[in-house]
Chains A and B, each alone.
Chain A
Amino acid sequence: MNVAFVSSRVRVEVATAVALARAGFRRYATYRQATLAAAATNSVFGFLRCFVLLAVAAADPATPTAGYTAEQLALYTWVSQALIGVVALWGWTDLSDRIRTGDVVSDLLRPIHPVLSYLYVDFGRAAYAALTRFVVPIAVGALAFSLYVPRQPATYPLFVLSVLLAVVVTFAARYLVNAVGFWLLDTRGVLMAWTVGTTLLTGLAFPVQFIPGWLPTVIWVATPFPSMMQAPLDVIVERGSSLSLVAEVAGQTAWAAVLLGLCWLVQRRATAKLVVQGG
């Protein structure tokens, strides 16, 4: 394997990724009003959730609740609202729309793997959300509440890595949910399962650790949902030991690999189906 060849191929691929990401960024940047409205909505929900979780912690102010102090819970709620837009938990139907209109055939005519092209565009989308929908709720929360401030310097880069992984995990999961449209016309059951999972198991409504017994461990290991939000949230509030946080990020990496692999497999099946049936 010629090193020069490999490095030039990598460079070309990176340039392509950057170009597609820029396209995604610019596309979402045109939705300025909707982004503003969404950030405002996230802020309102930030208030609602923060007050409730603070009340939960207030019952026993001395002891942390499931490993979270009150200030950690406050930061937790605001960052969770900030991350909703970055990982795009809901509302992504690009692939299923194209499947319905048949435009997905155009994807096959481009010399790039469809999953990669959607992924790169999603990075651009996430980047725009990071600049807008991420920043606003945190600023609002910081002004209105006393939020936990992460103490370890390693937390910040780990958080960035964790968010990146969360974007990939959520993207791959969304892709799979959309891809169901290749086989099923009626996706309501799948969509409801997605809503249940993303609301209850991602750490959005409550930290997964609030659930009693061994269920949280099962949820972490058997579902990708905590890897979408719970992991970066735990990292930023510095919950528990560094080892447990690194383990959570490792879990995200594993889920990212598994889900991307599934996307690749599903795409292959879907393409085979398309070329047999006719675009």
Chain B
Amino acid sequence: MTSLVIEARGLRRDFAISKRIGRFRRQRSVVTAVDGIDLQIEAGEMLGYLGPNGAGKSTTIKMFTGVLRPTAGHLRVCGLVPVTQRRQLARQIGVVFGQRSQLWWDLPLRDSFELARHIWRVPPADHAARLARFVRELDLSFLDTPVRQLSLGQRMRAELTIALLHGPRVVFLDEPTIGLDVLSKQAVRAFLTELRDRGDTTVVLTTHDLSDIERLCRRLVVIDHGRVVHDGTLESLHARYGSRRAVVATLEEPLAEPVRLPGVDLVQSSADGRVLTFSLDGSRTPAGQLVATLAALGSLRDISIAEPAIEDVIARLYAGTA
């Protein structure tokens, strides 16, 4: 009995594009949106799914949820074949798609949750307990407001709730924090952290918000042009792409001689030479060694070491595979 919740081998999806040329002729071409993806996701993981626009992220998610038939490859989600066993699979998954809503538009939010209880056949006690928990964790103080009148932040929290209300084994979140105000974003992030720590739900989180990834996901899958280009931790991503950290040193007096260490570049110097900004490649020179060197060379008054910006490594990764 495998604990693999999602198992994809050689997953492929082609789209037939028909373009009109001139007045009568049509040019048919095939666009491969997903080009042989291998992915194995264990129960309880929270996985960040990244990629530039058009990389094939939503296409993959649609195939996982059964609303898109793969062109080729092996795919099992919760042990089921998504497209052919869609309704059965729907009982075990939860979905939050950015533009699409799973809520009933004209009715108070409370009614959507009641309907979900029936449609997903949730035992009343479980439903009540889970709903109480979500109301508390996501601050759902607007249960009696018609869904049509909810703000985006409120609606997102409601979508999360309805996706998780039936206790699915895996939940797919497509850009859950996009466009949210700061408070809502925090609430959602805290909620997802709780969810991850509880460990009973597998989460596939698609997002462009890299701080989401940093805070929530231990595992990161980056896809580009339909292929997986990285599958591992954030650290391994930094290591692989030689991410650099910014080190800002404030000195009593300018340095007598420049710092010469492998992987250390002086990026910026203030006019009086007292505030120096270095770009540090941690794999070649540890940060501690740079600090010690600076202290030895001059009178070090203050130092700050920043984490490598995830935006940088992602941008470089996207650019590198372009």
Residues of A within 8 A of B (CB): 12, 15-16, 19-20, 23, 26-27, 30, 102-103, 105-106, 108-113, 117, 274-276, 278-279
- Contact of A279 with B118 in the complex, beta carbons under 8 Å: no
Q: Which of B83-91, B212-220, B239-247, B277-285 contacts A (4 or more CB under 8 A)?
A: B83-91
Chain A neighbourhood of B69, CB < 8 A = 275-276
Across the A-B interface, the 3 shortest Cβ-Cβ residue pairs: A111-B90, A19-B118, A16-B118
- Contact of B118 with A108 in the complex, beta carbons under 8 Å: no
Can you list, as one digit per residue, whether each of B88-129 has a CB less than 8 Å from chain A (1) or not (0)? Answer: 101100010100111010110001001101111100000000
- Contact of A278 with B100 in the complex, beta carbons under 8 Å: no
B4 proximal to A (CB < 8 A): no
Tell me whether A15 and B118 are in contact in the complex, defined as CB-CB below 8 angstroms, given that A26-B111, A111-B91, A113-B87 are known contacts: yes
B39 proximal to A (CB < 8 A): no
Complex: chain A residue closest to B82, CB-CB: A275
Tell me whether A105 and B100 are in contact in the complex, defined as CB-CB below 8 angstroms, given that A23-B107, A278-B68 are known contacts: yes
B233 proximal to A (CB < 8 A): no
Chain A neighbourhood of B83, CB < 8 A = 275
22 sampled A-B residue pairs with Cβ under 8 A: A12-B121, A15-B118, A16-B121, A19-B119, A20-B118, A23-B107, A23-B115, A27-B106, A106-B100, A106-B101, A108-B86, A108-B90, A110-B90, A111-B88, A111-B121, A112-B87, A113-B87, A117-B119, A274-B67, A275-B69, A276-B69, A279-B67
Chain A proximity of B96: nearest CB distance (Å): 10
B59 proximal to A (CB < 8 A): yes
- Contact of A279 with B62 in the complex, beta carbons under 8 Å: yes
Complex: chain A residue closest to B117, CB-CB: A19
A263-B69 Cα distance, complex, nearest whole Å: 22
A163-B78 Cα distance, complex, nearest whole Å: 44
B176 proximal to A (CB < 8 A): no
Tell me whether A275 and B102 are in contact in the complex, defined as CB-CB below 8 angstroms, given that A26-B111, A109-B95, A111-B88 are known contacts: no
Chain B neighbourhood of A112, CB < 8 A = 87, 119
B161 proximal to A (CB < 8 A): no
A103-B104 Cα distance, complex, nearest whole Å: 12
Tell me whether A275 and B107 are in contact in the complex, defined as CB-CB below 8 angstroms, given that A102-B100, A106-B100 are known contacts: no
Q: Number of B residues whose C-beta is below 8 Å from A? A: 30
- Contact of B68 with A279 in the complex, beta carbons under 8 Å: yes
A72-B83 Cα distance, complex, nearest whole Å: 55
Chain A proximity of B34: nearest CB distance (Å): 11
A19-B117 Cα distance, complex, nearest whole Å: 10
A12-B100 Cα distance, complex, nearest whole Å: 27
Chain B proximity of A116: nearest CB distance (Å): 10
- Contact of A108 with B66 in the complex, beta carbons under 8 Å: yes
Chain A neighbourhood of B86, CB < 8 A = 108
Selected from B62, B67, B101, B115, the residue in CB contact (under 8 A) with A20 is: B115
B65 proximal to A (CB < 8 A): yes
A19-B111 Cα distance, complex, nearest whole Å: 9
Chain B proximity of A115: nearest CB distance (Å): 13
Chain B neighbourhood of A111, CB < 8 A = 87-88, 90-91, 119-121
A113-B119 Cα distance, complex, nearest whole Å: 10
Chain B neighbourhood of A102, CB < 8 A = 100
